[in-house]
Amino acid sequence: MTDILKPKPQHNHILAALTPDVQRRLFPHLELVPLPLRASIYDRKSELEYVYFPTDSLVSLQCQLQDGSSTALSVVGNEGLLGINFFLTEVCEPTRGLVQSPGYAYRLPRRRVREEFDRHCELMLLMLRYTQTIITQVSQNAICIRHHSIKQQLCRWLLISTDRLSHPRLKMTHEFIGVMLGVRRESISEAASNLQQLGAITYSRGLIEVVDRTKLEAMACECYFVVKKEADLLLAYLPQHQVFPDTDAIPVHHLGQAGDSTVIQ
Amino acid sequence: MTDILKPKPQHNHILAALTPDVQRRLFPHLELVPLPLRASIYDRKSELEYVYFPTDSLVSLQCQLQDGSSTALSVVGNEGLLGINFFLTEVCEPTRGLVQSPGYAYRLPRRRVREEFDRHCELMLLMLRYTQTIITQVSQNAICIRHHSIKQQLCRWLLISTDRLSHPRLKMTHEFIGVMLGVRRESISEAASNLQQLGAITYSRGLIEVVDRTKLEAMACECYFVVKKEADLLLAYLPQHQVFPDTDAIPVHHLGQAGDSTVIQ
DNA sequence: GACTATATGTTAGGTAGCGCACGGAGCATC
DNA sequence: GATGCTCCGTGCGCTACCTAACATATAGTC
């Protein structure tokens, strides 16, 4: 569906918030990359040189342990970007991103972003502002893991995810959600089954649809609303500018799956 | 003990890493404030105008729920500062700080820090670099809560705390640790009792002493080492400069307890 | 239409951590 | 030295979540 319509850079709110002047400097260096479901970002060294701006995709930032188990830290959609570590410090390990809803993202060479960042103007302020929302997400996530049930966490997860998409359908299996949240598949199945009985969601073989947001919100913990409020504040902060015209000439690069032989430079 | 020796600004590594030029600009605006055990930072509105640089105190950043329960996000000692939210975004709610080891901190008016930050020079780079370590701590903390036992989390906690002090003694009750970690007092008692039997720590009536770090490290999860490595990288990053001389003229302000009538302007 | 892989349902048993309650031991105050 | 308070030990029932194994249903493939 999204394969036909090529997303514009302006679909990402950070990119859209840049003044035409900055857009003229940066947009010629943008590359459009497709993000297939379950793809990993920042697992391959070639990607370390890029900052990603999702347009219609959804990526969760994951923290990993040595045994492979992981836990979601936050969710990034078209309101943000991947690679905040890169401008906080020169050398760093980026956080692994896991594509939880397929789509596209624009990416910029880290060097270009750094140059723009060092001008100490709007892009820097936007990125710092966005860093704040990430910290809020990670913090609230931590306290949610400590104090709330898996069912509540699933509600929060579904709400945050669909907030960042234009539709209420999530193409993901219970197994995959379990990996993202760092819990068993069975726990997700049980919670999802319960939510379905209550008429909040429907699901079948890897496709979850939110049919009643208000029911989900009623069952979610306050953690969702804290994150939601912070996300709304960010959107209110982002100014809207006119569109920089020349965005159709941007090439589309294809990202390899893990274990794939396609390497991106 | 620390009441007699007045700590120098240079005991804070961020302040010490500033060049004499910047120190000359900032240090005249420093205030020394004592941080008593269990004091809250950023609970009172008057404190919102300050950024805190601990010298010999230890402060944990807490995330709170509406019912009052909380969870530790990270620990700040003389390697860092409180108030990173203030320069990430203009308007924000700061994270509550809970003094877990009494001592002193220097504080600067937020406005002065902002001015210096906007010069886009060393202080900004230091603060961004430090923000990265905070994000690492919060992230690792989240995955630790999800996947590891309270005993392991206690080990991590004791190790991180004593890393940031010059001595292995922590003046805190099981109850207080429970509040900080967001678990029951009994769970802490059980874990602590176990650690004491194994000869890793000793404790009595609100005073915990680490007697065998290697045993603690053996029982701690990898989360401790991830945070430790990041903290070491930060210290290696901080340059050492000569001391700006005029630091004895700095006044000492006294911070009121919660519910106290002493209000600071 | 048969086969296979994937996605979800279900069950049984184990355990970590919780809420609650109570008891004892150290320390201070008068 | 009696009282009271803080700090810690301990036991019990309960629940959420886990490990593990197996059953079933759906979609895709040949």
Domain containing residue B198: CATH number: 1.10.10.10
* Candidates A70, A142, A237; nearest CB to B63: A142
pLDDT, position B243:
63
* Regions of chain B short of the pLDDT cut 70: 1-4, 241-265
pLDDT, position A245:
58
**Angle CA A9–A12–A16, to nearest 5:** 75
In DSSP notation, chain B reads -TTTSPPPGGGSHHHHTS-HHHHHHHGGG-EEEEE-TT-EESSSGGGGGEEEEESS-EEEEEEE-TTS-EEEEEEE-TT--B-THHHH-SS-PPPEEEEEE-EEEEEEEHHHHHHHHHTTSHHHHHHHHHHHHHHHHHHHHHHHHHHS-HHHHHHHHHHHHHHTSSSSEE---HHHHHHHHTS-HHHHHHHHHHHHHTTSEEEETTEEEES-HHHHHHHS-HHHHHHHHHHHHHHHHS---PPPS--TT--B--PPPTT-S----
Q: Is residue B50 part of a domain?
A: yes
- My answer on whether B18 and B136 are in the same domain is yes
- My answer on whether B58 and B166 are in the same domain is no
* Candidates B71, B85, B134; nearest CB to A142: B71
- My answer on whether B138 and B124 are in the same domain is yes
- My answer on whether B179 and B50 are in the same domain is no
Pairs of residues, one from chain A and one from chain B, whose beta carbons lie less than 8 Å apart: 92
Interface of A with B in 175-204 (CB under 8 A): 182-183
**Quick check: A95 contacting B, CB < 8 Å?**
yes
* Regions of chain A short of the pLDDT cut 50: 1-3, 256-265
- My answer on whether A159 and A119 are in the same domain is no
Q: Is residue B78 part of a domain?
A: yes
pLDDT, position A240:
74
- My answer on whether B100 and B175 are in the same domain is no
**Quick check: A167 contacting B, CB < 8 Å?**
no
**Quick check: A238 contacting B, CB < 8 Å?**
no
pLDDT, position B265:
27
Best of A63, A124, A184, A235 to substitute, by most chain B Cβ atoms within 10 angstroms, is A63
pLDDT, position A249:
57
- Taking residue A245's Cβ as centre, other Cβ atoms within 10 Å add up to 10
Interface of A with B in 210-229 (CB under 8 A): 222
**Quick check: B101 contacting A, CB < 8 Å?**
no
pLDDT, position B189:
96
In DSSP notation, chain A reads -TTTSPPPGGGSHHHHTS-HHHHHHHGGG-EEEEE-TT-EESSSGGGGGEEEEESS-EEEEEEE-TTS-EEEEEEE-TT--B-THHHH-SS-PPPEEEEEE-EEEEEEEHHHHHHHHHTTSHHHHHHHHHHHHHHHHHHHHHHHHHHS-HHHHHHHHHHHHHHTSSSSEE---HHHHHHHHTS-HHHHHHHHHHHHHTTSEEEETTEEEES-HHHHHHHS-HHHHHHHHHHHHHHHHS---PPPS--TT--B--PPPTT-S----
Domain that holds residue A172: 149-220
- CATH for A61: 2.60.120.10
pLDDT, position A243:
62
- From chain B, the residues in CB contact with A135 under 8 A are 85, 88, 134-135, 138
Q: Is residue B2 part of a domain?
A: no
pLDDT, position B254:
58
Interface of A with B in 116-155 (CB under 8 A): 118, 120, 128-129, 131-132, 134-135, 138-143, 145-147
- My answer on whether A99 and A32 are in the same domain is yes
Q: Is residue B1 part of a domain?
A: no
Cβ contact (<8 Å) for B89 and A182? no
pLDDT, position B244:
60
Total-model pTM: 0.91
Cβ contact (<8 Å) for B73 and A145? no
pLDDT, position B263:
27
Q: Is residue B66 part of a domain?
A: yes
- My answer on whether A36 and A117 are in the same domain is yes
- My answer on whether B43 and B135 are in the same domain is yes
- My answer on whether A8 and A138 are in the same domain is yes
- My answer on whether A139 and A256 are in the same domain is yes
pLDDT, position B144:
97
- My answer on whether B247 and B135 are in the same domain is yes
CB of A130 under 7 A from strand C? no
pLDDT, position A74:
96
State pLDDT tens for residues A89-123.
887 788 999 999 999 999 999 999 999 988 878 89
pLDDT, position A27:
95
pLDDT, position B58:
96
Best of B42, B62, B92, B138 to substitute, by most chain A Cβ atoms within 10 angstroms, is B138
* Candidates A71, A142, A183; nearest CB to B73: A142
Domain count, chain B: 2
pLDDT, position B106:
97
